[in-house]
């Protein structure tokens, strides 16, 4: 029962172009979403987050869009750089107390930015 | 300004041995989380602790696994009588307060022979 899905295991993009990574979720209790980037043999690095009260959050080259009705979010990277090549994980969190703190992760998308 | 520290980075154990994984959170963070990543999969939540308390262990296997976060010292994830299926990367994360962003350590890669 995968509550957070990243249906594209990999994505290749030319340097300078836009990278769009997608994530779908099934649990309507999720109200906070995060994107992490992960290099091999390292831990995930926090990139950007969005609360369900917003539909867009921007930080430099990174923008996250949230479509609550479709239970879909996406991460846009513009312009893409070779150093962005990594695995990107989408994660979600519920608003209820107690277990609210745990993150539910997708399976990740390997982004390759070609020079 | 040190981030989350985990040690060892790599751990090899034979079946039936014990594995102890340590996690030192970011200074000032009192909330610790453990996640496990199996090959080709995303991270799966295991346990959430505050100092001296287990808050949520809903992701922990019922047997052989335990976690603690003592008043002094690092958080410890302990796996007794390891089996080959325990081979995975174990990540620790910390946050200053429970609802804030979790920051991850580099992970411990456990290999059970």
Taking CA atoms, what residue in A is nearest to B54?
A98
d(CA A98, nearest CA chain B) in Å: 7
Query: Tens digit of pLDDT for each residue in A16-63?
Result: 999 999 999 999 989 899 999 999 989 999 999 999 999 999 999 999
DSSP B101: P
State how far the Cα of A92 lies from the Cα of A64, in Å rounded to an integer: 13
Per the CB < 8 Å rule, is A98 touching B33?
Answer: no
Please name the member of B44, B95, B105 whose beta carbon is closest to the beta carbon of A43.
B105
Give me the pLDDT at residue B100, please.
Answer: 76
Which residues in chain B have their CB less than 8 angstroms from residue A91's CB?
A: 43
* Coil/strand/helix, residue A99: helix
How confident is the prediction along chain B (113 residues), in pLDDT tens digits per residue? 579 999 999 999 999 999 999 999 999 898 999 999 998 788 999 999 998 899 999 999 989 999 999 988 999 999 999 999 999 999 999 998 777 789 999 999 999 99
Which residues in chain B have their CB less than 8 angstroms from residue A108's CB?
A: 42
* Strand ranges in chain A using DSSP code E only, listed in sequence order: 4-5, 10-14, 19-25, 30-38, 45-51, 56-59, 62-67, 72-77, 86-94, 104-105, 109-114
State how far the Cα of A13 lies from the Cα of B77, in Å rounded to an integer: 39
The per-residue DSSP string of B12-66 comes to EE-TT--EEEEEEPPTT--EEEEEEE-TTS-EEEEEEEETTEEEE-TTS-SSSEE
pLDDT at A65 over 90: yes
Per the CB < 8 Å rule, is A103 touching B106?
Answer: no
Q: Band the pLDDT of A99: cuts 50, 70, 90.
A: low
């Amino acid at each position: 029962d995968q509550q957070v899905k990243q249906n594209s295991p990999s994505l290749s993009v030319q340097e300078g172009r836009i990278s769009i990574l997608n994530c779908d979720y099934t649990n309507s209790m999720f109200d906070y979403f995060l994107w992490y980037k992960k290099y091999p043999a390292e831990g995930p690095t926090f990139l950007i987050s969005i609360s369900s009260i917003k539909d867009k959050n921007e930080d430099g080259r990174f923008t996250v869009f949230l479509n609550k009705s479709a239970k879909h979010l996406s991460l846009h990277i513009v312009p893409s750089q070779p150093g962005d090549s990594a695995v990107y994980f989408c994660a979600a969190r519920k608003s209820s107390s107690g277990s609210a703190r745990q993150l539910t992760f997708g399976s990740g998308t390997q982004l390759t930015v070609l020079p | 300004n040190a981030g989350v520290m985990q040690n060892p980075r790599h751990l090899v154990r034979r079946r039936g041995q014990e594995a102890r994984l340590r996690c030192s959170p970011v200074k000032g963070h009192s909330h610790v989380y453990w996640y496990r990543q199996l090959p080709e999969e995303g991270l799966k939540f295991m346990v959430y602790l505050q100092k001296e308390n287990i808050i949520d262990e809903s992701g922990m296997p019922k047997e052989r696994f335990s976690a603690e976060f003592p008043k002094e010292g690092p958080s410890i994830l302990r796996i007794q009588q390891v089996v080959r299926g325990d081979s995975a990367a174990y990540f620790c994360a910390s946050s200053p307060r429970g609802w804030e962003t979790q920051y991850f350590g580099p992970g411990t890669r456990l290999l059970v022979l």
